[in-house]
Homo-oligomer: A and B are copies of this chain.
Amino acid sequence: MASYLQMNKEQLTAEFEQVKKEYERLKSLGTVLDMTRGKPGFDQMDECGEIFDLVGNATGFTNCEGTDCRNYGGLDGLIELKYLFSHILGVDHSQIIVGGNSSLNMMFDTIAQGMTHGFGDKPWMLQGGIKFICPCPGYDRHFAITEHFGIEMIPVKNTPNGPDMDIIEELIKDEKVKGMWCVPKYSNPEGITYSDDTVRRLAAMKPAAKDFRIMWDNAYAIHDLYDKGDKLLNIYHECVKNGTEDNIIMFTSSSKITFPGAGVAAEAASPYNVSLLKKRMAFQTIGPDKLNQLRHARMFPNFEVLKKHMKKHANILRPKFEAVINELNKQLAGKEIAEWTNPLGGYFVNLNVRKGCAKRVEQLCAEAGLKLTSVGATYPYGKDPDNSNIRIAPSYPSVDEVKSASVILCCAVRYAALESLL
């Protein structure tokens, strides 16, 4: 495992010849693989096929409160799911709103509400020139929403403990800074979980803007790959200690528990924020799809059943993640041309290649039949300043496909590094 940085020109040239040959061989295989998105695999979804038998003529349509879920009504969702999501989000069930099939939609609507109605202050749109803190690399769709509404994005680099709090504590002194995106557990794409200290500092923040909101996207709250997963401190409890509970709105969904397109999403917040959110929702809809909620409530009658279900997902996903990590170790360890994470959960492995090489890696992979998440997508405005970050999404393909993809990817990383060194 010789470091490329220690090699002389001759050695590098020899290595490059070998890598090129290997790359041409891989290219000739005619692989067609797509690892662009963190989609669950159908093998995971097969694990809850019985959910469809749980609501119908034979089983009835009535929830635990006696509501026939086929008709209108019930703005904020079924009580059973409020209890279930309260375990996931760590707040009282009365603070939970259970919605439709998309937590992203709930986040979009929340930002839209900020723009048109504000959060206790003037609508953001009429304040003008507002900004959002965007820890990065991060989730492209968060950044896309922010950009859609014309909110200026301030990138802040993540540390291994979460976003760089020294910088953030300075930024929030600007009252134009209205909020911040967070994926606090098994973050997209780095797979890091915020440390207790980071959570405490976030909860202690007293931003200049009274209408500042942390968008806490806890998408991977119970998505461990191993029995011993990361533990995320309960930020809401920390906020309550600081009297800052109105600063945070939390989101999650069952998209990666049941079905990505047909799951159930939820948000949670302080009583004040919940009242603001529900006030808007009362104009927006008569209520969510309670039958799909009922399906989920019957599938997961309690949190223990849900956790057991997630172990099945872990068993399916773990070999895929390990296939990536193994190949990264095999081909790249010690070469000093890349760094990667080894997450204990979530949906991504994060790979940082040599500065300036990521786009070339993406291109080499594409030419060999492997589509990766577009380089830069994990940064605000699609611009990775280092041209270094690659998001690996191993969940959707089969283990064998992930192996093939990893071989191509690692070869491309070496190829691009050697090109840049020579």
Contact = CB atoms under 8 A, between A and B. Distances in A.
A258 to B, nearest CB: 9
Contacts of A39: 71-72
Interface in A36-88: 37, 39-40, 42, 45, 49-50, 52-53, 55-57, 68-74
B261 A73 contact: yes
A280 interface: yes
A119 B129 CA distance: 22
A145 interface: yes
A422 to B, nearest CB: 41
Nearest to A291: B262
B52 A284 contact: no
Interface residues of A, number: 53
B57 A42 contact: no
A51 to B, nearest CB: 9
Interface string A151-165: 000000000000000
A52 B54 CA distance: 9
Q: Copies of this chain, how many?
A: 2
A33 interface: no
A289 B289 contact: yes
A80 to B, nearest CB: 15
Contacts of A144: 283
A68 to B, nearest CB: 6
Nearest to A73: B261
Nearest to A109: B284
B290 A262 contact: yes
A259 B69 CA distance: 9
8 contacts: A39-B71, A104-B285, A116-B125, A123-B125, A125-B125, A141-B286, A148-B283, A289-B289
